[in-house]
Amino acid sequence: MLFRHAVGAVLRAARVSQGRSLREVASVAGMSIGYLSEVERGHKEASSELLSAAASALGMPVSAVVSQAAEQMVAADSAVAVLTIPSQEQRQRPVSAA
């Protein structure tokens, strides 16, 4: 998972949970609707200034957005770790008889 995807998911979840439109949040944040939409979908990585503006428009500190995004990334990494393919060394170990 990329950081921009996690940040976008956090911003979108906050906006939707508040029942607010893209238009409203973008207007308060001082950015275009299209740009906020791109950020929410993880297609654009917001600068620190725009991230701060979007978070503020949602009534969130930037640290909360970053923290929640980090939690999503940790969860995604954990899910991937479970699905990893064993290394060459792990595949060549003899199986012990029980």
Residue bearing the bigger pLDDT, 97 or 69: 69
- Whole-prediction pTM value? 0.80
Cβ within 8 Å of residue 14, ≥6 positions away: 58, 60, 65
Residue 77's pLDDT is 86
pLDDT in tens, 2-54: 999 999 999 999 999 999 999 999 999 999 999 999 999 999 999 999 999 99
For 19-43, the three-class secondary structure string (H helix, E strand, C coil) is CCCHHHHHHHHCCCHHHHHHHHCCC
Residue 95's pLDDT is 59
pLDDT in tens, 72-93: 999 988 877 666 666 666 666 6
Going through 16-63 in order, the beta strands assigned E by DSSP cover none
Please, what are the domains in the chain?
Answer: 3-87 (1.10.260.40)
By the 8 A CB rule, do 23 and 33 touch?
yes
